[in-house]
Chains A and B, each alone.
Chain A
């Protein structure tokens, strides 16, 4: 087998365009997934009966079905049910937000739950309302405790974007396939695609490590 490594250079611009789309979906997914995860996590831990049941159903539905099926449903089935058409990139972003939110919810519930009850009581005993205790006492501690697990989940979000190849979103994996379809250089192209993911995710992991270290308590 002869390898032509000049392909790495010629393919690079196309793959970078794909990476931009990947990062757009991933970053929207991270931000949105944290918001939906916090809402669902708080509902799981402190919610009344109705919000608690709704949060449980949300988490169970999302964790109980593959992400590929979820995005297919949102992209192909939802337009038929609700009569709304959405672009493939919007479908990808919506899917990743909903999907990662469900996993984040369980992490956040666990982190909230791990804050000792006595510390909550100390806040209540000063005359703070429960929402104030949650915001100013529990949240900063739970945030620290959730970091390792959240970091893991956030890395999964970046990798999960490659799944959106199935609805034709022009993200990194899709671009890699397109390039390969033109030049048939599968070894070179897929090595390059893998390396790009690896660099992005490593940078991301490093950032999380630094954040974790900075937030560490004496």
Chain B
């Protein structure tokens, strides 16, 4: 479903992704971990072309991120994204935030969009809060609305860029529960996170990055119980 083919990314002289070769299949939950600056967020943002790749290729459902702008919009509709800072539209209520994508990106009617949005807000447990503005919601609630908003365009995969990093520890749980439900329903997911519990319990794959390279890639339980490298072992000590 997602194929990195010798993908590279540079910002000027700074190399962020060295040739990355990676493929994520339908239904997989790939959890990406690594020290800050290792290129994990950049890698994720290349998938929906928020960052333009510098070399190689990257295919999402057989469409290249190097394709036409219509192709890129198609990729983005198939890949929902959840941001660290939520990025909800502050001038819209929770319901309007979730309705936005169906109306503007999918050209659904207002009433269709409303039905979709209500169902999704129910799914993330925020139906009661549908008429609240983002500023009237807690961080955890905002992030759940953001997940509902991303799901509203009916994506085939979901990209999570440190979705719980901006949240207090007690609010992280509610967001991770929603993500876990999604994973159990078979959604293909790429998740950049520091939550090792999530990696172990929900991840079907664990990818450890350092210096723009995929250093380890395997089954989470196996990697976490017997770290294959000193570096990885040290990293785990620091995040746990």
* A48 interfacial contact with B, CB 8 Å: no
* A116 interfacial contact with B, CB 8 Å: yes
A126 to B91, Cβ gap below 8 A?
no
| Those of B65-99 within 8 Å (CB) of chain A | 69, 73-74, 76-77, 79-81, 83, 85, 87-91
B91 to A125, Cβ gap below 8 A?
no
Q: State how many residues of chain A have any CB contact under 8 Å with chain B.
A: 20
Binds B, one of A61-69, A132-140, A179-187, A195-203: A132-140
* B101 interfacial contact with A, CB 8 Å: yes
A118 to B153, Cβ gap below 8 A?
no
User: Closest approach, in angstroms, between the C-beta of A183 and any C-beta of chain B?
Assistant: 54
Report A-chain residues with C-beta under 8 Å of the C-beta of B149: 122, 126
Q: Which of B85, B88, B90, B101 contacts A126 (CB 8 A)?
A: B101
Q: Could you give, for residues 112-145 of chain A, a 1 whenever the CB lies within 8 Å of some chain B CB and a 0 otherwise? A: 0000101101111111110010001100110010
B91 to A118, Cβ gap below 8 A?
no
Given A217-B90, A217-B91, A218-B135, is A122 in contact with B83 using a C-beta cutoff of 8 Å?
Answer: yes
A128 to B83, Cβ gap below 8 A?
no
Report B-chain residues with C-beta under 8 Å of the C-beta of A132: 104
Report B-chain residues with C-beta under 8 Å of the C-beta of A140: 91
* B7 interfacial contact with A, CB 8 Å: no
Report B-chain residues with C-beta under 8 Å of the C-beta of A136: 100, 104
User: Closest approach, in angstroms, between the C-beta of B38 and any C-beta of chain A?
Assistant: 21
| Those of A200-218 within 8 Å (CB) of chain B | 217-218
* B136 interfacial contact with A, CB 8 Å: yes
Question: Which of chain A's residues has its CB closest to B102's CB?
Answer: A126
* B239 interfacial contact with A, CB 8 Å: no
B83 to A118, Cβ gap below 8 A?
yes
- Grouping DSSP codes into helix (H, G, I), strand (E, B) and loop, the A interface class, with mixed when no group exceeds half, is helix
A126 to B89, Cβ gap below 8 A?
no
User: Closest approach, in angstroms, between the C-beta of B72 and any C-beta of chain A?
Assistant: 8
Q: How many A-B residue pairs have CB under 8 A?
A: 66
Q: With A and B bound together, what is the CA distance between A124 and B73 in angstroms?
A: 8
Q: Which of B81, B87, B104 contacts A119 (CB 8 A)?
A: B87
Q: With A and B bound together, what is the CA distance between A190 and B211 in angstroms?
A: 74
Q: Which of A121, A126, A132, A136 has the most CB of B within 10 A?
A: A126
Given A140-B91, A217-B90, A217-B135, is A125 in contact with B50 using a C-beta cutoff of 8 Å?
Answer: yes
B100 to A126, Cβ gap below 8 A?
yes
Report A-chain residues with C-beta under 8 Å of the C-beta of B146: 122
Question: Which of chain B's residues has its CB closest to A137's CB?
Answer: B89
| Those of A166-202 within 8 Å (CB) of chain B | none
A127 to B76, Cβ gap below 8 A?
yes
Question: Which of chain B's residues has its CB closest to A135's CB?
Answer: B104
Question: Which of chain A's residues has its CB closest to B74's CB?
Answer: A127
Q: Which of A116, A128, A132 has the most CB of B within 10 A?
A: A128
B135 to A125, Cβ gap below 8 A?
no
B91 to A144, Cβ gap below 8 A?
yes
B153 to A127, Cβ gap below 8 A?
yes
B50 to A121, Cβ gap below 8 A?
yes
A125 to B104, Cβ gap below 8 A?
no
Report B-chain residues with C-beta under 8 Å of the C-beta of A129: 69, 73
User: Closest approach, in angstroms, between the C-beta of B51 and any C-beta of chain A?
Assistant: 10
Known contacts A124-B76, A126-B76, A127-B153; 7 further A-B pairs (Cβ under 8 A):
A119-B90, A122-B81, A126-B80, A127-B74, A128-B73, A141-B90, A218-B136
Task: Enumerate the 5 nearest inter-chain pairs by beta-carbon distance, A residue then B residue, closest first.
Answer: A127-B77, A122-B87, A127-B76, A125-B81, A118-B87
In the complex, 6 of the A-B residue pairs with CB atoms within 8 angstroms, ordered by the A residue number, are: A124-B76, A125-B81, A126-B77, A126-B100, A126-B149, A127-B105
Residues on A facing B (Cβ under 8 Å): 116, 118-119, 121-129, 132, 136-137, 140-141, 144, 217-218
